[in-house]
Structure 1
């Protein structure tokens, strides 16, 4: 599993692929069909991604994978389509919105489980502005990408809101709580 930084050209290819997949979705109803073998080895590597769509600075869709399940180029094409048409929080993107959306891609590192004995211990290990977190307890699960630090700049806020996103109370604590962290290489159009 590669975690090599992408060069500018590779980033542009991924952004172009994401937009082309959304365009294909608008006109043909399915994601862009990409053949990973047609791309550089870095874009064929199995990597996990999230694709976020913003419209006039507001979230318009965000879908991704926390674990690497397919080649990077295919993950971006599939997640771009899903963010545009299958994010349950929003109606499917329509043609009039296509030119108004900005595409943001996050390529994730493999998750690393954290070991902690208390909430204070966990908070000390979290790296603001760097870490994305996956929080899980039983069937409650949620994640925040590292970019969420822009809205929730303190460790305490970040963790409390992540608990809420996972369906738990903000002050929830349990010995069965599991937290993993990851980093993301993020880039966007423009």
Structure 2
């Protein structure tokens, strides 16, 4: 029996509360969140979706992810970097995604900045260079941090490289999503599963 906030559902498995109920969030919790990805497009997708999630629920973004992948050309940064005003207008008219002009523009800006990073090892290498030495050890949801010294440093480094919508909280969420930091609750079955 968990001693913290982990939830044991009918399947008898302890999970973080946000991923405990059957459905898309549980599937994401159990199979994707905290799992490292490979390739520039996969890293850029996570960066972009975390930026779009800012101020919204992750469930909203997860439900819209297939449409995001379609309209943003599977997060191919070379294609996104060439988006013009007509493409931006089409994105803003597409109700299947989050229609936030600043976030759409940030995606294009960040695609261009990602291309520029290739000369210095690329986006994945830059992100990995900010991985903390240790992950927190939360037993309670209240103990899960939303920022860290590393996410603050990553945010500053990305902004210096021309990225936008990459604040410390968003970068901490990105680090969690990529498995750079493990904030699954200690009693969660996914803790240290990767």
Q: Same fold, TM exceeding 0.5?
A: no
Instruction: Decide which structure has greater strand share.
Output: 1
TM-score, normalised with respect to structure 2: 0.31
Instruction: Decide which structure has greater helix share.
Output: 2
Q: Report which structure shows greater RCO (CA 8 Å, sep ≥6).
A: 2
